[in-house]
Amino acid sequence: MLKIIFENGVYLWYLFSVPLLILSHFYFLKKSKYKAMRFSNFSTIKRLTGHGHGKLLTTNWVVLILRLTILVSLIIAISSPVLWYKTKTHNQDFVIAVDASSSMLAKDFEPNRLGVAKLKAMKFVNNLQGSAKIGVIDFAGNSFIELPLTSERQKVVETLESIEPISLGGTDLAGAIVSSANLLMFSEKGRIVILISDGSNTVDAYNQRALNFALNYAFENQVIINTIGIGTNTGPIGYLPEYYNVSAIYSPEQLKHIANTTEGRFYDGNNETSFSDAFEEILNETQESYEQKNLQPILLLIGLLALFLEWGLINTRYKRLP
């Protein structure tokens, strides 16, 4: 998949000057025809007015095309185009987003879902090779950035270890996705989110609309979300004085939807072995992610080459007599 993003797209409005260049080209060419009639050298008249052998070239179409190339390439260049393309690579930055809502205290995993999620994420960080940067987010009713992107693995491990259950009710998957995408916004590598949750999205009545917005935001910013579900459909976790009686039902459907929409993968961690295997697959497989290429230098080079060629032609083949 190829996609071009214009970081300064407002300058594309200058493309409306293209028709003006075409009109001015033919206007001044017409003026030169009258000027040519002052000379008795008929070869000069043919060259300036576009009659005779080689008419296609002598009507200055080549010069017009070169001038259009110069104008268009320079306008697009200042618009800062960036080509994004999907490729298989190990060159990625990661955000690990951990669900810390009360449902993650369910004890269908030992010691509970949150504890296992933290341990396996820490193991993943320790085993990750290369120069990848990693950020950490936890979320419940709101999302919280615990650690911006960093290459210090020990700091990432300590941050993951320090995550505690969040008392704010609900599971704000949309907020976690937007916060994760924002952390990766300035990464020039592949942008990967590993989102760990039992799948319930329960913030408010508009959660589906918010989730769709978040997924579009991630997709437009070339962020791929791999989701890892954790849970075994054990029902309510029972009454906890500080968290009330909340449902711990495992709901992988939303996690599948998140992964599919952002061209990521869903991993079903319905037991400790499969949950651990999910991290191993992410660690060992060559992941698909987006790479970027700045097109500005190429366009500037094209514009300069066209400029030099146009300058040479109007001073040789298309030179006008005084």
- pLDDT per position as a tens digit, 278-313: 998 888 765 555 666 788 888 889 888 888 888 887
From CA 134, how far away is CA 149, in angstroms rounded?
A: 5
- pLDDT per position as a tens digit, 177-186: 999 999 999 8
- pLDDT per position as a tens digit, 184-205: 998 888 899 999 998 865 655 4
**Where are the chain's structural domains?**
2-83+295-314, 91-285
From CA 58, how far away is CA 46, in angstroms rounded?
A: 8
Kindly report the pTM of this predicted structure: 0.65
- Of the candidates 102, 139, 116, 114, the one whose C-alpha atom is nearest the C-alpha of residue 236 is 102
Whether the link from the prior residue into 297 is cis, omega within 30° of 0, is no
Bridge partners (DSSP) of residue 147 are 136
Instruction: Look up the CATH architecture of domain 91-285.
Output: 3-Layer(aba) Sandwich (3.40)
How far are the Cα atoms of 11, 67, 161, 180 from residue 165, in angstroms, in the given order? Answer: 48, 63, 12, 19
User: 3-class secondary structure for 11-74?
Assistant: HHHHHHHHHHHHHHHHHHHHHHHHHHCCCCCHHHHHHHHCCCCCHHHHCCHHHHHHHHHHHHHH
- pLDDT per position as a tens digit, 37-88: 555 455 555 554 444 444 444 457 788 888 889 889 998 888 888 877 666 5
Contacting residues for 122 by C-beta, under 8 A, at least 6 apart? 157, 160, 161
